[in-house]
Structure 1
């Protein structure tokens, strides 16, 4: 029987976890990776009172208990627990929902170190909460309202281009057949936001920052990894994710006060990891949002930022 000290919850296509596992393997760490898309093939036995789980994978038995487990890496965004958007049979929906619920039962392991705890992830995924706490720690934030009304025009400061940022209150995943469509941030002319387009559901409306330079700041505990996101050495207008094939990620050193605010923001949200999007306008740094399960693997490859090593070291240290 193997008693892992580190538990990784991921999926088989999560390349970021591949990097982390490689680091853990080099350190001879005692870890177990559970891929959520393989759970159907496992045999699990859990005692929630004692905080013990036995998992049989092929012919190997693993025992996870409170005394031996020192850290958990939980890579799942909490909004993906909703299965109604998927074109699944009732049986598949039942299976998916209950296995997802089983993963959440790992919260009984409350003495170990988490990255990130589901409670904190759920809290931090709320964009309104992000903005409020970012403001509290001293970040500049764009003028923002949440509304489904067309009577919003005096609430958002217009810019010279007369445009505004529009994005969902929560991450948008829409089921289209058997596929999921992702909702990006959009730059929209103010005149195009009529009652007919606004009344369906509330949205985030934000002051449009332009020209700007986008920054991705990845915080691992107290370590900070930062890049500028550029196209032809210039900032990107609108959502840079729509131009992923063209952008360049250039490592930078943030000013000390901005770096400190990033660390404080992650801590106040109850996280040990956060992928923060900032926008620099002239010399002012605006907080845009934070993703508690944001991707980072491409920064290892393209910018040589050893985020994988930092996470592995965090998991190895335990509480």
Structure 2
């Protein structure tokens, strides 16, 4: 039986970022159970929860551990695999049955793991989902005091054309979600890019599109926030979207203005997040424009000292144990 003070880490087996945090937890002698619920529950692991008036009990069994889920110290929702049907039965199940099995796994196992009494979540999966909607990010960023580039989200082509025409400094297009996309059967990323009025066709009416004023930036900044701690990295890249060719970018630690730190804290509080990866465009005059916040963004690509500090900050959160 795993120690009642165990941390539960939900992630896939290929997540080397999680490995770094797990090593630190081991050094601190914090017991850990690692689980990829979307895969492991089809490969021998089991999860049971019982509810009755005045009582909740639960047990997670893996190949090496038995965990009382009502006494979990903390849960790190890192990068678990999507819930799906049992692979061994896929060839025997029709589309409807596969969809049924996958959705029952999500709403059943996912619901159990999101409802562990007293556990500290980094972040709670439902808070993660709520924080991923870009329109909500922009609305909350304004309320928290960030500078926000002028933005329109619309499925009306003429509104999009008017927006582009009224912003002479340039406009960019951003997808509202990183939907899996393929071209010639190869994975294809949709990057942030400049857009001109004559490119906007009636196809915009097919779904909402996000158009935003192009910030005349001197550089980008990634601010990684963990609890009340923030870590800033300046990103210099030849590309509008630095994610496109990360081998060409350079990263150096940068000081975060106090006003930005206060706004980050307010943002995390409003969305009930412990962790957030904030992206900013910074102008030559020193204005920091909020672009987005990924509530579960990657962080191990940053300079070694920053990466180590973030790992320790996450470990601090996971070691704290039940919320009070």
Q: TM-score, normalised by structure 2?
A: 0.85
Cα offsets for 1:88-128 (capped at 9, x unmatched): 86466555444443133212214211111122111100100
Residues 170, 12 of structure 1: alpha-carbon distance in 2 compared, 3 angstrom cutoff: same
* Segment drifting more, 172-181 vs 26-35: 172-181
Work out the CA distance in 2 between the residues paired with 1:70 and 1:259. Answer: 28
Task: Give yes or no for the alignment of 1:28 onto 2:29.
Answer: yes
Secondary structure of the residue that 1:73 maps to in structure 2? strand
The residue correspondences of 1:145-184 to structure 2 (distance < 5 A) are: 145-152=152-159, 153-156=161-164, 157-160=166-169, 163-174=170-181, 181-184=188-191
Verify the 8 A CA contact 1:211 1:237 in the aligned structure 2.
no
In structure 1, what is the equivalent of residue 265 of structure 2? Answer: 263
Task: Give yes or no for the alignment of 1:316 onto 2:319.
Answer: yes
The residue correspondences of 1:43-58 to structure 2 (distance < 5 A) are: 43-49=45-51, 50-58=55-63
In structure 2, what is the equivalent of residue 139 of structure 1? Answer: 146
In structure 2, what is the equivalent of residue 124 of structure 1? Answer: 131
In structure 1, what is the equivalent of residue 119 of structure 2? Answer: 112
Secondary structure of the residue that 2:139 maps to in structure 1? helix
Residues 183, 108 of structure 1: alpha-carbon distance in 2 compared, 3 angstrom cutoff: same
Verify the 8 A CA contact 2:277 2:296 in the aligned structure 1.
yes
Verify the 8 A CA contact 1:72 1:315 in the aligned structure 2.
yes
Cα offsets for 1:182-222 (capped at 9, x unmatched): 43222222321122x32222111111112341110000000
Work out the CA distance in 2 between the residues paired with 1:225 and 1:44. Answer: 38
Verify the 8 A CA contact 2:83 2:105 in the aligned structure 1.
no
1:222 to 228, 240, 247: 228
1:290 to 274, 289, 293: 293
Q: Please, what is the CA RMSD of the aligned residues?
A: 2.6
Residues 99, 76 of structure 1: alpha-carbon distance in 2 compared, 3 angstrom cutoff: farther
Task: Give yes or no for the alignment of 1:275 onto 2:277.
Answer: yes
Secondary structure of the residue that 1:268 maps to in structure 2? helix
TM-fit CA distance, 1:82:
9.2
TM-fit CA distance, 1:28:
0.7
Work out the CA distance in 2 between the residues paired with 1:205 and 1:301. Answer: 35
Secondary structure of the residue that 1:257 maps to in structure 2? helix
Unaligned runs of 5+ in 1: none
Verify the 8 A CA contact 1:3 1:62 in the aligned structure 2.
no
Cα offsets for 1:62-106 (capped at 9, x unmatched): 12232x21211012489x6699xxxx8646655544444313321
In structure 1, what is the equivalent of residue 2 of structure 2? Answer: 2
Cα offsets for 1:222-266 (capped at 9, x unmatched): 0101101013xxxx4421101211111111111111111112211
Work out the CA distance in 1 between the residues paired with 2:184 and 2:29. Answer: 44
How many residue pairs align between the two structures?
305
Residues 117, 228 of structure 1: alpha-carbon distance in 2 compared, 3 angstrom cutoff: same
Secondary structure of the residue that 2:233 maps to in structure 1? strand
Unaligned runs of 5+ in 2: none
Work out the CA distance in 2 between the residues paired with 1:82 and 1:145. Answer: 36
Work out the CA distance in 1 between the residues paired with 2:210 and 2:80. Answer: 20
TM-fit CA distance, 1:305:
4.6
In structure 2, what is the equivalent of residue 200 of structure 1? Answer: 206
